[in-house]
Amino acid sequence: NHGYSRVGVAACYRSYHHDPKNVVIHLIFIPVLTFTSLLMATTTGDFIQLPYIPINGAALIAGAYLLTYFLMEPVAGASMIPVVGALLWHLNKLHAEYGAQAILVAGIVNVLAWIAQFIGHGVFEKRAPALKDNLVQAFLLAPFFVWFELLFSCGYRPELYERVERQAVAAINKYRAEQKNGKAK
């Protein structure tokens, strides 16, 4: 049990994504899933129309994610705002220009991205994905995991990375010991 500390939550998620090949798969396909899911969420229509960014399902979901990330790690969360703003602008433009065709392609690509991630877990991690144990946490943390991996690779908060990594390795070792004894989930 990692509790709800930012280190504990990040370490828990990281413990399911530790094999380098699986990490690469997730670094590629989590953004694809985020992009395609938010594109499909633009179909809700606009609740409020602001200049350049309509407030629709995609904007509400992205806003909830950003708020959560900001509360977990303010600098990292705030650093996502321009990226997410540009993403929302692009998604709304795609939906406006291509309509149902864009949504159909997004749906197909979304399914393929899920398949790639499940293969990554089965083949490389040799364990079920995080969503098996905590669906909401897995969906909520996936994009932030990618962002953190990017930030950590650029030298962001090395002490935080070390704490997350230590806890993740401890969780992996515990899981493997339980698996050996037939007690793993």
The whole-number mean pLDDT for each consecutive block of 10 residues of the chain, a chain of 185 residues, reads 65 88 95 98 92 90 95 94 96 96 98 96 89 81 91 95 93 89 71
pLDDT computed for residue 182 by the predictor:
80
CA–CA distance, 166 with 168 (Å, rounded to integer): 5
- Which residues, in sequence order, are CB contacts of 114 under 8 Å at separation 6+? 29, 33
pTM to 2 decimal places: 0.88
Domain residues of the chain, as ranges? 6-180
- Which residues, in sequence order, are CB contacts of 84 under 8 Å at separation 6+? 62, 65, 66
